[in-house]
Amino acid sequence: MVVVMEERASEAQIEQVVKRLVEMGMDVHRSTGVTRTVLGAVGQGHPDKGLIEMLDGVHEVLRISSPYKLASKTFKPDPTVIQVGDVRIGGDEVIVIAGPCSAESEPQVRAAAAAVRRAGAKIFRGGAFKPRSSPYSFQGLGEEGLRLLRDASNTENLRLVTEVMDLSQIELIDKYADIFQVGARNMQNFTLLRELGHARKPVLLKRGISATIEEWLLSAEYVLSGGNNDVILCERGIRTFETATRNTFDISAIPVVKKLSHLPVIADPSHGAGRRDMVAPMARAAVAAGADGLIIEVHCDPDHALSDGAQSMFPSQFDRLMAELRIIAPAIGRAICLEPVARRGWGT
């Protein structure tokens, strides 16, 4: 770390900072300038940034190394590629995950799985336990929902990601899903993250609604430090003062995370925008910005969906989006599922 002293810092104050840094096991390089003194601290010690900042005469403390280790590019320069069956997340191909917000009934789940598969999605999404803002909203079908999602995924040869909301659900969801999703509301549920660190399946970690990128990567660190190396980061919009959209979709987070971390990062334009008509533009932008994949809500009858209807795409809209992504992805050197299984269905 670098400690910048105040312009009028006294010799005694500077000495006190050097003393504390040496006590913390650091080697100190002192540069006495005309107006300011700068102290460079290097070594294997673990200096406490907050403690140094509180010392008299300290103007600013800058950390050079990141507080997360395993998630950082310094630790692992090569990108992590996560294998889920025959699907590779974080490689050349942009992977699209799609499906309804929640499992509501067998026909609804089957129709959605068939529709997203035909359009080129590789992974099916859907919730069985729904964390809703209101306790009176639809809470999900529970294990019955998991069974419906798994059956539909098997039928359509899709992998399955579904949300795990607390520790007690891990064992159950492990029986049905290929990827555990940790929702934005649970991003800092550290006991859940620790436990998922022992899971043998990938974790899709959404960014918390008001989490900084550093906090998000620290949450990933919890999973990684437990021994689970397969973490997929997912930007889903953050809360800002803007009210035109449900959240403000932070596209810049994608290249920022790519620079800081080796982990794959995908984008959730459905929650990011919160409005059906905004999903496609945000999805296109996310892929153009370098996202390794997308997770999109698609519902065959969104107007009657039990949750998130307003932000779910019609299958025909999703199909068109996939066609657009097939033009955008190659422009930045990425592959994407080129041939939809069949082109039929939803008119034009």
Query: Among 11-19, 108-116, 152-160, 307-315, which window interacts with other proteins (CB under 8 A)?
Result: 11-19
Q: Which residues contact 253 (CB under 8 A, 6 or more apart)?
A: 207, 213, 235, 265
Q: Please enumerate in sequence order all residues whose Cβ is within 8 A of that of 273, keeping only pairs 6 or more positions apart, or say none.
A: 237, 245, 246, 247, 249, 279, 281, 282, 311
Whose tokens are 């549920």? That residue is 189
Per-residue binding string, other proteins, 66-85, x by CB under 8 A, is: --------------------
- 13-52 footprint of other proteins as x/- string (CB under 8 A): --x--xx--x--x-xxxxxx---------xxx--------
Q: Under DSSP, is residue 250 helix (H, G, I), strand (E, B) or coil?
A: coil
Q: For the CB of residue 64, give the shortest distance to other proteins in the complex, in Å.
A: 12
Pairwise CA distance, residues 89 & 81, whole Å = 6
CA distance 21 to 1: 10
Q: How far is the CB of 251 from other proteins (least distance, A)?
A: 37
- Compare residues 14 and 283 and give the one whose CB is closer to other proteins: 14
Please name the residue that has the structure tokens 């009028």.
8
Residue 292 is encoded by which pair of tokens? Answer: 């390794």
Cβ atoms of residues 172 and 199 within 8 Å: no
Return the structure tokens found at 179.
């990827």
Indicate the residue among 19 and 239 with the shorter CB distance to other proteins.
Answer: 19
Shortest distance (Å) from residue 19 CB to other proteins: 5
Closer residue to other proteins, CB minimum distance, 75 or 190: 75
Q: How far is the CB of 41 from other proteins (least distance, A)?
A: 11
Shortest reach from residue 16's CB to other proteins, in Å:
9
Question: Residue count at the site for other proteins (CB under 8 A)?
Answer: 15
The least CB distance from residue 38 to other proteins, in Å, is 11
Instruction: Give the interface with other proteins as residue ranges (CB under 8 A).
Output: 11, 15, 18-19, 22, 25, 27-32, 42-44
